[in-house]
A and B are shown apart, each in its own frame.
Chain A
């Protein structure tokens, strides 16, 4: 039986400090996050004790592979919605709390955008006139520097990792036809191939099929084995191959389809169906460069299929899986909506991609830029188009080109506003968020799988949260209501 696909998205935002002389993105990120956090009651630090991002899902650390370093000296906060907001490398990063399904993930991803927007407003009040910090939700500076948008999914530890790799690889290589955020030009050598515009931001940066790294020689399937949960039972599949999406339907399908595919793998639904590609790294770029969506990819067994063909195969298998096994693991209603929209998008891509400008980032961006290009008689290499490409992702409400395009919304503004401060109710993020709302001054630190309380004289007391599905509203609301103080809570928990 597939387990619940608890999921979340981490986004590293692009940051552009203006009017400050030499640009220092680390300092700017710290100032930005501090400005936001100082508006909140009290900052709670992140607890690094259980961080081990160098562990490899294949059970070894390859010689010469560089494990990421954890930067403990930088700004790092846990928010009352259960999210983490911090400086990672030289970017502000927002990690959503653990969500129960793809729609909730969209809501918290949008809440993250709102938090960045509010951070820009907060920092504007602090900076002298002429100085500004501008935030972009994209993945590339167009000069070969990339920063990530990572998805995370709870996966049953019993599934052999090789089997996960086998069936997610063709999906990750081809899903860019609807998850891509679009980009003018390329940042990788393309030989004789001319690429005026491509479907994804990230495909240029992937050089390996499977591996531990995230900053160099990026792999399509990342093997970071850091479950932030009971490691005997769970994996956290850390997916680094995606783009940052602004279009909600694109985020919904990115997370929703991937969740269904993972549930199918757990239930052995692929059986002997195998879509292993002959050369995934070449394929992922070729798919991204293929605006006509008709380039055939070679499979290991000699078959040739386009990215659309492969997505239809996965879709049809998923449809049968849903009919036979149900979609409880991803939420029945949300799963049904994912299947319906997935079919609609694939049909649209097949018949008339431009009809999807209200749903997909790359189509929306292409339509806008191509319209501008035609009107002004520009070549694709014109810097005005590159500037518009960047400005599509500008999060300032008055400057965002995306915001002017009127793409379809799946979550209301009210529910996004609530998600800025309220945690999801169906995961342990609820317990984390509620404790922070009530007792922030008694919490020394928190991380994904524990909260550390400081009640004064006693030693610090850690409450472990190794089960992502425990600590939900249903489970802890009456407990929390019955506890007038954190000391009472710890007594009740026996911590």
Chain B
């Protein structure tokens, strides 16, 4: 168990170091990811199935395997 704690701390420690050096970049990265999701959500209605309820209801499969 002790070893596991140690192993888990290692990557966390590395992360902290990186954030110390480049905190603004870290925030920018987070903003970028959020902006990408926003952009995706802006355009997604164009490709979504038109009638969600009908689509979900009519998607019926036979069990397999």
Chain A residues at the B interface, C-beta cutoff of 8 Å: 12, 14-16, 23, 25, 68, 88-91, 93, 140-143, 145-148, 150, 214-215, 218, 240, 312-313, 315-316, 319, 343-344, 347, 350-351, 357, 367-368, 371-372, 375, 382-384, 386-388, 390-391, 398-399, 401, 404-406
Contact = CB atoms under 8 A, between A and B. Distances in A.
8 contacts: A14-B59, A23-B60, A91-B62, A93-B64, A145-B61, A147-B63, A347-B8, A347-B12
A386 B65 contact: no
Given A313-B4, A384-B48, A404-B40, A344 B11 contact: yes
A214 B49 contact: no
A143 B40 CA distance: 29
Chain A interface mostly: mixed
Chain B interface mostly: helix
A343 B55 contact: no
B7 interface: yes
B4 to A, nearest CB: 5
B44 interface: yes
A141 to B, nearest CB: 4
Interface in B20-65: 33, 36-38, 40-41, 44, 47-49, 52-53, 55-56, 58-65
Interface residues of B, number: 29
A25 B65 contact: no
A386 B61 contact: no
B49 to A, nearest CB: 5
Contacts of A382: 52
A315 B36 CA distance: 33
Given A145-B61, A147-B61, A316 B11 contact: no
Given A313-B4, A371-B41, A375-B41, A14 B61 contact: yes
B62 A145 contact: yes
